[in-house]
Structures are given as C-alpha cells and as structure tokens.
Amino acid sequence: MEEMKVDKRYIQWEKRADNWMDAIRISAQPLLQEQKITTNYVEAMITNIQELGPYILIAPNVALPHARPEQGVNEIGLSVTVFQEMVFFDKAEAEKPSEAKIFICLAAKDSESHLNLLKEISSLIENEEMITRMMNTNSEEELHEIFE
Amino acid sequence: MKILAVCGMGFGSSLMLKMTADRVIQKKGINAEVEATDIGTAESVQADLILTNNEFASQLEGGKSAVKAIMNMASEEEVGKAIDEFLENNK
C-alpha cells in the first residue's frame, strides 16, 4: 500500500467546530487559501449534504467532504483536519452514528488523478491503527509527526 | 452478478467502494461486475446487489436489488462479508 503524503500546509488540528457546516468550512480552508478551490466549492459541499444527507461518511469517524469538479475546483488537492471534539451530522434516517473527527477534504479535477487520491485515502482509512493514532493526537505538531 | 456502489456524487465514496469490491471479487474469484453511481441514477440501474452507506441504504431498500450498508468503504473484510452474505442468501 502506498503511504499517503500530505504537505504540512494541508494538515490541521482543531479543538472543535461549532457544527458540521463549520467543520467543512474549516477543513476546506487550506485548499481555499492555496486557491485550489473557490468559495463556491465550499458552499456546494455543504448544500449537497443538506440535500442528500451525510453521505460523506466513508468510515467510522471519517468524513470525506467533496463536491463535483465543476462546482469550483481550480487544481487537484486534499486536506486533512482532525477535530478533538466529535462533529455531529444531522441524524441519518437509519439512526446509525453520523459523526466524524477526521475530515479529508477532496478537490478532484480529472478522473485519473482523482482515482489515485482515492486510493491513497482508501489505504489510510483501511488502517484502523493509523485512524486511532490520528484521533488521539493532542496538537497540530503531533499530527504532523504522523504524516512525516 | 452485478454490484452497484452508490454514493451522493457518484465519484467519491462510491468509487472507493468499487475499488474495494473489485479487490474482494478478484481475491475470492467471484464473477461480478462492479459499477459506481450516484443516488439519483441508482434506482434506474439494474443490479443484484447494492453496496452503499447507511444513509442511502434505507432509501434504496425495498427495490429489486438486495441492499447492504457498508460502514468502512475501504474495508475488504466488511465488503467481503456483505458479498458472501448475499451469495449465501441467493444460492
């Protein structure tokens, strides 16, 4: 399995978010700052969830906020944000846990590069030990060390 | 058999789920085709088994296809179990 490489600029550690919408905006911040996405993309990620429900939960405790490339992606990118406090989504119909601590914000442009990123994320979330380590960090420095 | 991986946009978690399912059927030697799609078109696609998240599983249940909710889209173990259960129930 390939190791996921993420530049420090795109790794954030946060104490908490006010709500899931706030969490998505925070998780998109590094991509927005580097102009990889537009503000429209950020709002599209939120609107999509309001319409469809929290479909971005890809594994226990892990969310993958993303929207369509045409909704405002300038350049392919990915950011990882760990929230110390659990972020809750509106209750899903199935009444199963709708919550996450790790937000992997994804901006895709074309299908090939997109698939490579998904493969990397896939190998990350398959590794439960890594997910646990990430969730148990207490500072941004600690989180950075994991990705070094 | 035909497996449908469903998510909100049709290119995020459903593709991830498809990659996992592809690995599983290859390892198990199951003759199956896996397609990724979004929730909007899922109901118009013919499939034997639908793999999706909790949120969409409850929406898609009750149709012609069997539906299994997957918690971890990258877990070969979980996806493998869902496929095995389906095959067991449809012998």
Q: Give the mean pLDDT of A72-82.
A: 95
Identify the CATH number of the domain defined by range A8-147: 3.40.930.10
Give tens-digit pLDDT for B52-70: 998 899 889 998 899 999 9
Q: Which amino acid is at A83?
A: F
Instruction: Report the C-alpha gap between B24 and A56 in whole angstroms.
Output: 22
Q: Give the mean pLDDT of A7-31.
A: 96
Sheet containing strand B2-7, strands side by side: B33-38, B2-7, B49-52, B66-69
Give tens-digit pLDDT for A103-124: 999 998 877 788 889 999 999 9
Supply the DSSP string of A97-109, one letter for each residue.
--EEEEEEEEE--
Decide if pLDDT at A22 tops 70: yes
Per-residue pLDDT, A1: 39
Give tens-digit pLDDT for A42-61: 999 999 999 888 889 999 99
Instruction: Report the C-alpha gap between A79 and A23 in whole angstroms.
Output: 13
Instruction: Report the C-alpha gap between A113 and A40 in whole angstroms.
Output: 22
Q: Maximum distance among all alpha carbons in chain B?
A: 33
Residues with Cβ within 8 Å of residue B59, at least 6 apart in sequence: A93, B39
The C-alpha of A41 sits at a distance from chain B's nearest C-alpha, in angstroms, of 14
**Domain-by-domain residue ranges, chain B?**
2-89
| Chain B 10-49, residues with CB within 8 Å of chain A CB atoms | 11-13, 15-16, 19-20, 39
Query: B12 vs A118: CB contact, 8 Å cut-off?
Result: yes
Decide if pLDDT at A78 tops 70: yes
pTM of the model: 0.91
Nearest CA in chain A to B13: A58
Supply the DSSP string of B30-58, one letter for each residue.
---EEEEEEHHHHTTS--SEEEE-HHHHH
What ipTM goes with this model?
A: 0.87
- Residues A18, A21, A22, A23, CA torsion sign: positive
Percent of residues, chain A, with pLDDT higher than 70: 93
Residues with Cβ within 8 Å of residue B66, at least 6 apart in sequence: B48, B49, B50, B86, B89, B90
Query: A57 vs B55: CB contact, 8 Å cut-off?
Result: yes
Per-residue pLDDT, A96: 63
pLDDT < 50: residue spans in chain B? none
Query: A118 vs B20: CB contact, 8 Å cut-off?
Result: no
Per-residue pLDDT, A90: 78
Identify the CATH number of the domain defined by range B2-89: 3.40.50.2300
